[in-house]
Amino acid sequence: MTKQTHPHHKNRGFIATPGKNRDKETFRLASEAQLPADETFKRLRSHPEGLTAAEAAQRLHQFGPNEVAHDKPPHALIQLLLAFKNPFVAVLIVLAGISYVMDIAMAPPDDQDWTKVIILASMIGISGLLRFWQEFRSAKAAENLKSLVRNTATVQRRPTSQTSPLRMEVPMSELVVGDVVHLQAGDMIPADIRLLESRDLFISQAVLTGEALPVEKYDTLGAVAAKSAADQANGDASLLDLPNGCFMGTNVVSGTARAVVVATGSDTYFGSLARNVVSHKRIETSFDKGVNSVSWLLIRFMLVMVPIVFMINGITKGDWMSALTFALAVAVGLTPEMLPMIVSANLAKGAVAMARRKVVVKRLNSVQNFGAMDVLCTDKTGTLTQDKIILEHHYDIHGRKDETTLQLAWLNSFHQSGMKNLMDIAIVEHADAIGERIKLHDYTKIDELPFDFERRRLSVIVQDSHGQQLMVSKGAVEEMLAVSSYVQDGESIRALCAEERARLLSRSQEFNAEGYRVLLVATRHIPTDARKAAYQTADEQGLVVRGFLTFLDPPKDSAAPAILALKEYGVTVKVLTGDNPIVTAKVCRDVGLNPGKPLLGQEIEVMDDVALCAAVKHTTIFAKLTPLQKSRVVKALQANGHTVGFLGDGINDAPALRDADVGISVDSGADIAKETADIILLEKSLMVLEEGVITGRETFGNILKYLNMTASSNFGNVFSVLVASAFLPWEPMLAMQLLLQNLVYDLSQMFLPWDKMDPDFLKKPRKWEAGNIKRFMLWLGPTSSVFDITTYILLWTVFGAGAAYHLHGGDGGQLIMNSGWFIEGLVSQTLVVHMLRTRKIPFLQSTASLPVLLSTSVAIAIGCYLPYSPLASSLGFIQLDTSYFWWLLLTMAGYLALTQTVKTLYIKRYGQWF
């Protein structure tokens, strides 16, 4: 065996370039594909019957799991550093540095003041550490949840070298070089493999090449494969064109194969790309764009307002250094430094809540996208229906019960080796229930033409005890009639004329209208001189139609109430299926969907994008679709401004899952579907989706609460500071006090992720709109300024700040003003949380959750206590007369009344809140 280097040491720093000769020198698959299979087994120290269990275990221990580098989460220290990578935290770090220079480095030893630096450092530390803790926990939870969803491979291994091989399912991560694997439609290629045997094997390499159409792969026994391998040796083809090599990450569209693993993990072609390209850096999602747009809106606002505050204070007070210090404190006050932590905590909480509902969230940001979804595209089978197909009837061409039709169907379903679908299982189970007379055991399988999504039929070639060969085909009615030339009528066979063809189609449509799925069974006796070692799809011609099979897939009991519930939450359900439109329409009516006029795949094929965008607006059923047509429908809906979720579990759903805003699959789905999806359901039910939508909207709503409340409150504070700076002889609050006020307020907001959302908020899908936050800020911010100004007047006139200024030159008056506005500002800023968190009347119609009630109450208590605490003098506070608190109650009552009035006007004007 050629020595295998450790995955993390081989080819470090080299980016593979398909088509270059160095590919063939670098990747083992290129060299092994050009050798006879016996030589490959010898070089890999393996065996055609597979490795022994002990050999596989030893190789797994020596070379590590079959995983690529980007599958692992970053180290905890890296996560800690990334938690501080945020524009708001950067602003705080800059301001802390400036405060250090001004208050410590440039100050005499006796005048050094660490207070502002300590407060800023506390804000930075709390924001970053809380975000790190939330994201670290959520990453661990996500890894644990993902472990519930295991991608496996079918491996042929021997318990010992003396025993026969067994087929078994093992996790993909446990594959090793030399393993012999078996593949069928829907499987993901688990490693770089060299084909040993294949039948009509088509591989989708879109993940590596971007080419939508699958390519056919061969074992090297075929003449075509031999010629292609020769081209490879001459350097005329690229690495990905190897006819007998398949690459990790690609997937089987149709056919079957047996292959040997020649490279795993980072030694694979896919692993090399993942190691050398920053593959873990995802394209910015709508969620990321929304957060960034809001962040930069607030930063731009800060860059405008802070210089204005600085200039006004410098000009009116004459102390430019003090003005700079105060302006920097205002900048901190405008910085929503808890935003990263609030976002992370909300998403993590949402993911955990969804996990309790049997929903695995692979990507945290998809929680919010789930809530924003307003169109759900879903397949019919297993979602709207019970996913339990029952064979109801087996008829001849006249619609009479016929056991021969069932016998032929059993031959086809029993002997096919591909992915057995629900109808194959139903046929075998029905035959088992009837008895042995249905099972034609004297036939042996010769060959098979597997099902694919273009032909929509499957054929097996069997041979009886007399050596007579028979092709038995079953498939969709139209596709079967296309390759049939005769019909079996009793004991006679006659030509399939146009009139008979129309009758058969009409009869199948009658079955469809009753809710049955229909397959046609046909046969062809193969004469001795036409026999082959291997049959091709071109041999499916001149078939004799033998009869119908009708299947029933009854609707799920939960489908109708789930669709009604989704509709109530503003989610439109559309059905995208490869199935018959008549059957689909019947099922849709049964579950409460208005089917309307179905749009067929052949109609979509001739539409341009503009016409399709117009057509999808009013269409509920999209039937007889190919995988790429499903993807086109999803993109058309997105182009119309919808946030689209796609629920699918099959290989044919992978393109649409990738293109949807939220790709949703199920644990029992095909490997490629689970790998592509953002969210995986452990239970295939629309009711689970409804709960996920609610959780997503709760998550997004709590994020919006923080943004709207903080933005409007900060804007109001800055507006109040501008007024005070213009008319008061000193700052209304010291820079240190402004920082302390902001710190206490931020700590009270830590529990917002655990707040409740009003039921009416959850009824509509929500999207990120920075313009709405700006509008909210401009409307609600000045309401607090009104009562800030009345507080200035109150403190100046009633509580003696003005008199103290005139008598003593200002220190006493400033202490009164600072203390009074600190209390009023913190109480109003914290109390208004309850006003702005809901469009209803707080406490009477909507009450916050207990954690929020407690956190805001504690913040208010701290704000009122500090001027009376032992720290008061060091913080620049003075005790106020107790009558101040009666004035404070009156001020707060007026503030809450004005806020409720403005809120009502806002809702009437714009029709929404948040």
Where in 607-693 does DSSP place strands (E)? Answer: 621-623, 644-647, 662-666, 679-681
Q: Which of 568, 558, 587 is nearest to 688 (CA)?
A: 558
Question: CA 798, CA 796: separation in Å to the nearest integer?
Answer: 6
Tell me the residue type at 283.
Answer: I
With vertex at residue 706, the alpha carbon angle to CA 705 and CA 711, rounded to the nearest 5 degrees, is 105
CB atoms within 10 A of CB 20: 13
Question: CA 338, CA 395: separation in Å to the nearest integer?
Answer: 69
Question: CA 213, CA 222: separation in Å to the nearest integer?
Answer: 22
Q: Which of 227, 226, 340 is nearest to 291 (CA)?
A: 340
Q: What are phi and psi of 574, to 5 degrees?
A: -125, 145
Which string of DSSP letters, residue by residue, matches 280-311? T-PPPPHHHHHHHHHHHHHHHHHHHHHHHHHH
Question: CA 443, CA 100: separation in Å to the nearest integer?
Answer: 89
How would you class 492 by CB atoms within 10 Å of its CB: exposed for 0-12, middle for 13-18, buried for 19 or more? exposed
Tell me the residue type at 743.
Answer: L
Q: Which of 737, 450, 404 is nearest to 549 (CA)?
A: 404
**CA 463, chain centre distance (Å):** 49
Question: CA 665, CA 644: separation in Å to the nearest integer?
Answer: 14
Q: Residues with Cβ < 8 Å from 116, sequence gap 6 or more?
A: 99, 103, 325, 329, 735, 736, 739
Q: Report how far apart, in Å, the C-alpha atoms of 282 and of each of 70, 72, 671 are.
A: 11, 15, 21
Q: Which of 875, 709, 861 is nearest to 779 (CA)?
A: 709
Place of tokens 């999602």: 285
Question: CA 842, CA 679: separation in Å to the nearest integer?
Answer: 35
| Spatial contact of 264 and 66, defined as CB atoms under 8 Å apart | yes
Q: Map residue 585 onto helix, strand or coil.
A: helix
| Spatial contact of 158 and 48, defined as CB atoms under 8 Å apart | no
Classify the phi-psi angles of 810: left when phi > 0, otherwise alpha if psi is within -120 to 50, otherwise beta. Answer: left
Sign of the torsion angle spanned by Cα atoms 162, 168, 173, 176: positive
Residue 288 catalytic? no
DSSP 240: G
Tell me the residue type at 321.
Answer: M
DSSP 678: S
Which string of DSSP letters, residue by residue, matches 763-779? GS-----HHHHHHHHHH
Task: Please identify which of the residues 187, 192, 200, 379 carries the catalytic annotation.
Answer: 379
Q: Which of 534, 507, 533, 530 is nearest to 518 (CA)?
A: 507
Sign of the torsion angle spanned by Cα atoms 70, 72, 74, 77: negative
Q: Residues with Cβ < 8 Å from 40, sequence gap 6 or more?
A: 32, 194, 260, 262
Question: CA 836, CA 706: separation in Å to the nearest integer?
Answer: 10
Question: CA 792, CA 788: separation in Å to the nearest integer?
Answer: 6
Catalytic residues: 379
